[in-house]
Amino acid sequence: MFKILRKEVLTPQTKLFVVEAPLIATKVEPGQFVVLRIDEKGERIPLTVADFDREKGTLTLIFQEVGKTTYHLGTLNEGDAILDLVGPLGRPSEIENFGKVACVGGGIGIAPVYPIARALKAAGNEVISIIGARSKDLLILEKEMAEVSHEIYVTTDDGSYGKKAFVTQELERLIKEGYRFAFAIGIGPVPMMKAFALVTTRYAIPAKVSLNPIMVDGTGMCGVCRVSVSGVTRFACVDGPEFDASEVDFDLLTARQRIYCEEERQSLERYQQSKCGGCERE
């Protein structure tokens, strides 16, 4: 069992947990992820590690409530425990002193960008961060990102906060203004990463994206997370999750993320009904 030591509600649908997981905390590096299962009947889902404290033996997990499992997870509180948590999985981000780097995070993708930006800064890079969300109330980790960045730009799709733009438009604007990025990392929803790949490819900037396909075991055993990278099938769980942005087949990723759309909807409806039923009985 993995105890939840702290819970923070970042936005109405985005929660942060600090979880006790000393073994994983001693080994995890930026870019890696964990797989968790809430309880005996739960499914296994991957979550990128948003932060870690080796001394305290804790991991920070940030997730958005989108399906049954994440909604259920969001109902857990400090003192509750997650049944299974395994990691650290996947390859760590390659942290080098590149020079000037762009760290681009969209929506929930800001969470995994944060430890990478911090590590890049610690490695001596000039970190230019661009973060964004659909609207102001969905924006997370602005303060934390500002602390690990030399410059930070904030956008929202609807203009409710920061600049009304997509993060990738802001990235392109900076490049046009003369920012010479030696490296860029972009994490967020697939359409954002696809646009990020287009921009970085257009300006020949070496760039990575972190992919989030469906996973089960997370150790290369099942192959459900297969993605196409420069035409070759790779397993995101062991070969990734980061790949060269220009080489990823994002359309395939989008299609494969939708495999269980119908079941996910069914599962969520059933869960919400059962919760309402529970209220009535009380």
Partner 1 sequence: MNEERAKPKVSPKREPMTRQDPHVRRHNFEEVALGYTEEQAVREAQRCLSCKKKPCVSGCPVEIEIPEFVKFIAERRFQEAIDKIHEKNSLPAICGRVCPQEDQCEKMCILGKKWEPLAIGRLERFVADYEMRKGEINIPKLPTPTGKKVAVVGSGPAGLTLAGDLAKMGHHVVIFEALHAPGGVLVYGIPEFRLPKEIVRKEVEYIKKLGVEVVTNFVVGKTRTIEELLRDGFDAVFVGAGAGLPYFMNIPGENLNGVYSANEFLTRSNLMKAYLFPEYDTPIKVGRRVAVVGGGNVAMDSARTAMRLGGEEVYCVYRRSRAEMPAREEEIENALEEGMILKELTNPVRIIGDENGWVREIECIKMKLGEPDSSGRRRPVPIEGSEFRLGVDVVVIAIGQGPNPLIPSTTPGLKTTKWGNIIAEEQTGATSLEGVFAGGDIVTGAATVILAMGAGRRAARAIDEYLRKK
Burial 127-150 (b: 16+ CB within 10 A, else e): bbbbbbbeeeebbbbbebbeebbe
Rounded to whole angstroms, how far apart are CA atoms 202 and 154?
Answer: 22
Classify burial at 224, counting beta carbons within 10 Å of its beta carbon; exposed 0-12, middle 13-18, buried 19 or more: middle
For the window 74-113, what string marks contact with partner 1 as x by the rule CB under 8 A? Answer: ---------xxxxxxx------------------------
Listed residue (234, 203, 242, 184) closest to 32, CA to CA: 242
Near partner 1 by CB under 8 A, which window of 41-49, 99-107, 160-168, 196-204?
41-49
44 binds partner 1 (CB under 8 A): yes
Instruction: For the CB of residue 10, give the shortest distance to partner 1 in the complex, in Å.
Output: 24
Task: List the 183-187 sheet strands across, edge first.
Answer: 163-164, 151-156, 126-133, 100-106, 183-187, 207-210, 242-244
Q: What does the block give as tokens for 232?
A: 């070759």
Instruction: For the CB of residue 85, give the shortest distance to partner 1 in the complex, in Å.
Output: 6
Please identify, using beta-carbon distances, which residue of 183 and 250 lies nearer to partner 1. Answer: 250
Please identify, using beta-carbon distances, which residue of 10 and 21 lies nearer to partner 1. Answer: 21
SS3 48: strand
Give the binding-site size for partner 1 (rule: CB under 8 A): 40
66 binds partner 1 (CB under 8 A): no
42 binds partner 1 (CB under 8 A): yes
Instruction: For the CB of residue 254, give the shortest distance to partner 1 in the complex, in Å.
Output: 9
What count of other Cβ atoms lies within 10 Å of the Cβ of residue 173? 14
54 binds partner 1 (CB under 8 A): no
Rounded to whole angstroms, how far apart are CA atoms 68 and 269?
Answer: 8
194 binds partner 1 (CB under 8 A): no
Q: Which of residues 214-273 bind partner 1 (CB under 8 A)?
A: 216-217, 219-224, 226, 228, 233, 238, 252, 255-256, 258-260, 263-264, 266-267, 270
Rounded to whole angstroms, how far apart are CA atoms 87 and 193?
Answer: 25
Residues that bind partner 1 (CB under 8 A): 23-24, 27, 37, 41-44, 68-69, 83-89, 216-217, 219-224, 226, 228, 233, 238, 252, 255-256, 258-260, 263-264, 266-267, 270
